[in-house]
Amino acid sequence: MAEQQTRAVLLDIEGTTTPFEFVYDVLFPFARRHVREFISQQRHSAEVRADLEALKAERRADAEAGRGPTEWREDSADSQVEAATAYVHWLMDQDRKSTALKSLQGKVWEDGYLSGELKGQVYADVPPAFERWRAQRRSIYIFSSGSVLAQKLLFAHTDRGDLTGYLQGYFDTNTGAKNDRASYERIGAAINSTAAEVLFVSDVTAELDAARDAGTGTALCVRPGRPAPEPRGHVIVNTFDVIFP
């Protein structure tokens, strides 16, 4: 990590800024419980219709490949809701990084954040790191498989306050897969930075490998209590306190 050279810090969320348990034990169960009701109530809105059409197309591709739940029926409003819900649940069981799924999940979570039922979680070292990096005039960005909406909601409603004022931008699967070198090249172009001027911090080595292939600096985040993957040459950090202190 060349301290003077790094102009931008690009962060993963799950296992990096935010406990793994919050995503899998709070956010995902909330979406699973509420998605049927949400689709039923909101299926006529243009944005939700777009998500449903994308999910239906993805379901068709799964069916052609011989995988997935039962057929997508639309002979009634109830059957459409049930088919969409069943497919959403199936995608979640596969931990599929589906853009349409993530978009729909973000909309479901929005209701939870706005009602106060959901409160985002970040590690204790995250807010002071954001403050420190801003004082150092480094830009901070997020790259997550969760939708941009979901990212903004999480950081706007954390248990440590609204952190969105520190963040200059957000990237999701519309940019590309996180294990694809081209995604990091696109992000560099979007933030007007060379690859060498960006540090990507994640807990997934495959993502860091792709970023390194693009010329981006990398750091493997291994939080206490989480299994440590093979570092494969990436610098290991256990806390943000050691990143540009």
Question: Model confidence over 175-233: pLDDT tens digits?
Answer: 999 999 999 999 999 999 999 899 999 999 999 999 999 999 999 999 998 888 899 99
Question: Which CATH superfamily is 8-18+120-242 part of?
Answer: HAD superfamily/HAD-like (3.40.50.1000)
**For residue 61, is pLDDT > 80?**
yes
Residue 227 has a pLDDT of 84
SS3 102: helix
**24-115 CATH:** 1.10.720.60
Q: Is the confidence at residue 43, as pLDDT, over 70?
A: yes
- In the chain, where the domains are located: 8-18+120-242, 24-115
Extended beta strands in the chain, E state: 8-11, 139-143, 169-171, 198-202, 217-221, 235-237
Per residue in 83-102, pLDDT (tens digit) is 999 999 999 999 999 999 99
Examine the pLDDT at 1 and tell me if it is beyond 60. no
Q: What is the pLDDT of residues 130-145, one digit of tens each?
A: 999 999 999 999 999 9
User: What's the CA angle centered on 146, arms 240 and 177, to 5 degrees?
Assistant: 90
Q: What is the mean pLDDT of the chain?
A: 94
Tell me the helices (H) and strands (E) count for the chain, helix number first: 9, 6
**Do the domains 8-18+120-242 and 24-115 sit in the same CATH topology, yes or no?**
no
Over residues 8-15, mean pLDDT: 97
Q: What is the pLDDT of residue 130?
A: 98
At 70, the pLDDT band (50, 70, 90 cuts) reads low
**Tokens in use for 124?**
């204790």
pLDDT at 3: 64
Residue 2 pLDDT > 60 = no
